[in-house]
Amino acid sequence: MVYVNYHTFHLLRDSIQSLEKHCTTVPFEIIIVDNASGEKEKNMIEEWLAQKPLKNVTLIFSESNAGFSTGNNLAAKKARGKYLFFLNPDTLLLNDAISLFYDHLERSEPNVVACGGNLLKADHSPNASYGNFPGILLEMCNVGLGLSFLLNGYYKKHIAIGCTKSSERIMDVPYIVGADIFIRSEAFNAAGRFDENYFMYYEETDLFFRLKRLKYRSCILPMARIVHLEGGAVGKSSAKNFNYLRFEMILKSKLYYYRKWHADSLPLIKGLIKMQILIQYLKGKWGDDLKRLYAINEKVDN
């Protein structure tokens, strides 16, 4: 069980409590990496854990915040189990997901290496659980001129990067949303772990793209139910309160992903992103400062 914490103590506490309540079948260790949240956060974590009867808890306090990928890799190096379970602090387990994941992979063929659960929003409505690998079609749809609406079912099935579960059956998926990744340690290491050039966002997309190239399969188990309070760690963006820092982190990771895997298409993709910025701004969805959006784009692009 791996958590990366950065000023999310209260979310982390609630998530661990959901583990205690529901996951009682398969024994597990908990490894918490705190990405330099500060002395106050460190004391809160240590004092709370000191009051708990939890066993097999390892705390790692990083001297600097090197990002989500680096924090997860640091924890993975300390892990001793056959499986790794990367879980965001802003998650709440509603049933014994660990047992469901463990039993499924124990029964599966060796090339099935990872699974994730049915992610839900706070009101238990469907949340994004998996996605398709990004590409030019996605960026064309993201411009916001109705192409995704015209493509309808094809967009949802083959293009979208944020998909909710569409079936009660176990389903193979291109990649699992990084909020909950249960994976064979051997496969995680074989793929090269998380690419630490991603500070946050797209690190799971990149990992599963490499797993796919190794002929590994991943799936969603709809019976494993997990609430994902998306944005709990970094804050959400809205038209009224647009999160420019989040926009910058996503854009930086996205362009790195495309440089790495789709270098030939990069000039076209950059052009599409510039169109996205203008049109989404004009539609009132990306804040009220167009110059700032373009400045971020120029900064990241260079």
Among 230, 247, 233, CA closest to 289: 247
pTM, entire model: 0.94
Which tokens belong to 262? 């789709």
Q: Report DSSP letters for the chain, one per residue.
A: -EEEESS-HHHHHHHHHHHHHH--SS---EEEEEES--HHHHHHHHHHHHTS---SEEEEEESS---HHHHHHHHHHH--SSEEEEE-TTEEESS-HHHHHHHHHHHS-TTEEEEEEEEE-TTS-B---EEPPP-HHHHHHHT-SSHHHHHTHHHHHHT-SSB----SS-EE-SEE-TTEEEEEHHHHHHTTS--TT-SSSSHHHHHHHHHHHTT-EEEEEEEEEEEE-TTTTT----SSS--HHHHHHHHHHHHHHHHHH-GGGHHHHHHHHHHHHHHHHHTT-S-S-HHHHHHHHHHHH-
Rounded CA separation 170/104 (Å) = 10
pLDDT in tens, the chain (302 residues): 999 999 999 999 999 999 999 999 999 999 999 999 999 999 999 999 998 878 889 999 999 999 999 999 999 999 999 999 999 999 999 999 999 999 999 999 999 999 999 999 999 999 999 999 999 999 999 999 999 989 988 999 999 999 998 789 999 999 999 999 999 999 999 999 999 999 999 999 999 999 999 999 999 999 999 999 986 555 555 567 899 999 999 999 999 999 999 999 999 999 999 999 999 999 999 999 999 999 999 999 87
The phi-psi region of residue 31 (left if phi > 0; otherwise alpha if psi is between -120 and 50; otherwise beta) is: beta
Which tokens belong to 64? 């600097």
Q: Residue 52: its pLDDT value, please?
A: 83
β partners of residue 126: 120
Which tokens belong to 96? 């014994």
Q: Residue 253: its pLDDT value, please?
A: 97
Among 199, 219, 221, CA closest to 211: 219
| Neighbouring residues of 33: CB distance < 8 A, sequence distance ≥ 6 | 2, 3, 4, 5, 60, 62, 71, 72, 74, 75
